[in-house]
Every structure is written in structure tokens, then in C-alpha cells.
Structure 1
Amino acid sequence: MSAARVWIVDLGLSPDRLHRCDAVLDGAERLRADRFLRPADRARFVASHAALRTVLADVLGLPPAEVEITAGPGGKPELASAARGAWQFNLSHSGARAVIGIARDMPIGVDVEAVRPIVDALRIARAHFAADEVSALSRASRSTVERAFFGLWTRKEAVVKALGSGLSLPLDRFSVTVPPEAPRLLRAVGDGSWTLDGPWSLADLDCGADHLATVAVRSAAVAITSHRLSDDWPEHLG
């Protein structure tokens, strides 16, 4: 059976540890980081990308600063080294958490969302999601609709990110189950430019009560394991 691994990362770092993270990023990552207007957003970007380098460095047997990452087709990040294609990965961060997924020879996507008040969840769903998803979401109680909405959102985004198609994949052309039902791809209507044909595996991730997250892997027989980076992981960046 194939395997996919997911790491959950706490992004609340001290200034000293954040400085260590910044030191392992490449020039393109630093340019992106400097575009953030809010210091908190910049800090989360720097920490999450350094964590990604930590995970990839362990797999490749390289120092984190020497991991080469480039943009692949559709803009999805991929390894630029000889490991290109053999290892596939994905990163998502929101609020105080980052999620990193890595798999060998299988497309993988992850998404995490900080749960927050949202007064127009159904209106947003009607504008962007499939009709069967909207119908299921409308049956959620007032006390659970926010978590159901964000859980649904992470499931759809994880599939899109695994596919690597970005905004070219309309969110209303495929549907997934809505929490609290177990995550599963229900249907998809391709248009020639993309397809979701073939087996998929989706799993919820435990990122704490204030965050919801999903991993999607384009494979049926896959063992998905979840890990957490140790609290002192930036101390090992060198």
C-alpha cells in the first residue's frame, strides 16, 4: 500500500526562531514574504515555508536551505532537483496552523482553515459550491453551520490543490461530502481541460478545535499518517 504523510505545524514562533526560519528561505520566498503588509501574515508565511523545507530536507537528505523548489504546471510548487515527480507535496496555512502533505508518485493536496464567524455561509456556498453540497449545508444547525462550511471548504480546496489546476477548476463542477459525514469525493463533471477520474482518498486532520483541515490523495490504496513537528523544530534549522 502506498503512503502519504501529513505534518501539522504550530506557527506561533518567537522572534529568534522566526529569524532562523527566514535564514533558510530562498530569494523568491523572501520576495513573496516581503509583499505582506501585516507583520503577522509575513511571519506565518516565513514559518510555514521553513517548516516545509524542514520536512522535505528530511526526505531528501539535504539541509533545509538547499532544497530547491520551483513552480510546476498550473503554478503548483514542486521539487526542482532530481527528485522532481518522485516526491509530491503541498502546503497550506491559516491562522496559527500550517499543514504539509508529502507523497511518493501520487498527487497530494492539503488545506487548513481557521474557524471564524461567518454570517453568510449559505450565500457564499450558493455562489461557489455544487447544488448537492449547498443542500447538505442548508440542513446544518445554526450552531454547526460554520464548522460544516469550513470543513466543506477544506475538502474542496484539498482536491483542487492535489489536481494542481488552481482557479481553472470550477468549485461547482464537483462535489464532496459535507461534515459531519466522512470526507469523500461524490461526483465530478469534467470539461476536457481537467478531470477527477480515478480513485481518490480524503481524510480529515486534527489541527485543534479552532482549525479544520483535509488531505486529498489521488489514489485509492493509500495509508495516510499524521504527525506534528516538535515545538523546537526551528532550533534544528542550522
Structure 2
Amino acid sequence: MPNSQNAQLGPNTVHVWRFPLIAARQEMTALGRWLGEVECAALDRLLTSQQRDKRVVAWGRLRYILSRYLLCSPVEIGIEREPSGCPKIVRPENSGLHFSLAHSGSLGLVGVSTSALGVDIERMRTLPEFVRLARRFFVQNEIEAVTRVPKAEQARAFFRLWVHKEAYLKSVGSGVPAGLSQCEIALHSDGPQLVRSEFEHQLLLEIPVTKGYIAALAMSPQVTDVSVFDL
């Protein structure tokens, strides 16, 4: 954790945590004991033990991270889902803490702030239908951003747009995939930029992660400091 076991957020600050989705069986058992009703109910809907194990690690480490800011045990944290599906902290009451969780492949990502935010991460992979997916979910300028680059670069362009759009939609509490066409993102040389949206404006930032992955953060325009940590 930053500086000490207990973490503190300054004003207009975002902390982003990167962590592996791998844990020894003993640790996984301990992480599983921290999960609440929302997480356990979701585990029952997963088809494979590998999927369940990764979710246990992701949610357990999320609770550990949040506990350092909330100064309580991970099991004492109450998490519920809003109608949009976005999770929120309901216990301790009035904590003022916002968070976002994402995971893909063998990596997890958690963002924490005192204002609304969203994170997303995707493992780069070959999707034979990604141009079709772009045409289905993206707006025209984004489709062109994917299709006009050389074929060897199209997958990266697609996933860069996807993670930034999903992070943004998480930050404004909109559902995916319904909201994907309700915002437009441009991939400039100095980073992604939100150019149109039916929701409020947010800043976008690409988060450095392991080769083969792409990660994004969407946050309030008032944020002036972003720190990235490894768990």
C-alpha cells in the first residue's frame, strides 16, 4: 500500500491498483471468506472453476484494498449493485469512497477515488469478428479509426477504444453494451479523448500494464493526481 498499510486519498486524487489473478489455494480460501452476498450470488452463475477462482481473487483483493482506505476489516464492507449494475459501498455508511473493478486474463485492476470513476482492462487477443463488433457497437468515426489502420494494428485500435469506452460508461453509471454508441472517443497521439457523449464529461487516461494487455481509466475533470500501485 502507498507509504503504509493504511491508504489515504488526497483531494482530486485517483489511486489505481494492479494485481495478478493468481493465488495459492490457502490464500484463495481466505479471500473467499471475505466475500458478501452480491459476490457469492454472482459466483453461482459462473460455469467453470477457473472463472470462479479468478472472481474470488479479484473481489477478495478489491475488498482488501478498500479496507485499507475504510480502516475496517474486508468482511465488514457492504457492497450493493445500483440499478445500472455498478457496485457501490453501502457499509460503512457515507464513506465517500468510489471504486471500480475490472479483470481480464490473469490481471485485475481497481480504481479508488472520492469522485466517480471507471476502470477497464482487456487482454489483447485475436478476434476474427472484431471489425464486425466495431461496426455493431461503435460510432462511425470510431469504426474508421479501427478499419483505416493496417490489419496488424486493427486489434490494438479496437481494444483501445473498447476499454476507454467501457471505463467511461462505468464512471457515469451507464450500462454496457447499450451505452457504447452513446459516446465517441478519439485516439490521438497524446492519448484518448472523449469528443461526444450523452452523459457528463470525464477525463480519459491509458494505464500502463503488462505487455499484451490494455487498460483505461475514466475520471472527474477535477482530478489532478493519478498514482498507480502494484499489489
TM-score, normalized by the shorter chain, greater than 0.5: yes
Residue pair 1:151, 1:179 contacting (<8 A) in 2 also: no
Structure 2 equivalent of residue 24 of structure 1: 34
Residue pair 1:11, 1:47 contacting (<8 A) in 2 also: yes
Alignment partners' CA distance in 1, 2:95 and 2:34: 23
Structural mapping, 1:3-42, within 5 Å: 3-42=13-52
In structure 2, do the counterparts of structure 1 residues 72 and 44 end up closer, same or farther at CA, with 3 Å as the change threshold?
Answer: same
Residue pair 1:137, 1:148 contacting (<8 A) in 2 also: yes
Structure 2 equivalent of residue 78 of structure 1: 88
Unpaired runs of at least 5, structure 2: 1-10
Structure 1 equivalent of residue 138 of structure 2: 129
How many residues in Structure 1 have an aligned counterpart in Structure 2?
A: 221
Q: CA deviation at 1:72?
A: 2.6
Residue pair 2:84, 2:173 contacting (<8 A) in 1 also: yes
User: What's the TM-score, normalizing by structure 2?
Assistant: 0.89
Partner SS state of residue 57, structure 1: helix
Structural mapping, 1:164-183, within 5 Å: 164-167=173-176, 169-178=178-187, 182-183=191-192
Q: Deviations over 1:39-73 (max 9, x none)?
A: 11101110000011011100000011111111234
> Which stretch shows the higher mean deviation, 82-91 or 17-26?
82-91
Counterpart AA for 1:122: V
Structure 2 equivalent of residue 223 of structure 1: 225
Alignment partners' CA distance in 2, 1:175 and 1:99: 23
Check if 1:51 corresponds to 2:71: no
Counterpart AA for 1:99: L
Structure 1 equivalent of residue 154 of structure 2: 145
Q: 1:92 aligns with which of 94, 102, 117?
A: 102
Unpaired runs of at least 5, structure 1: 230-238
Counterpart AA for 1:215: L
Residue pair 2:80, 2:90 contacting (<8 A) in 1 also: yes
Q: Deviations over 1:142-179 (max 9, x none)?
A: 21111111111000000000111214853122111237
User: How big is the alpha-carbon RMSD for the aligned residues of Structure 1 and Structure 2?
Assistant: 1.8
User: What's the TM-score, normalizing by structure 1?
Assistant: 0.86
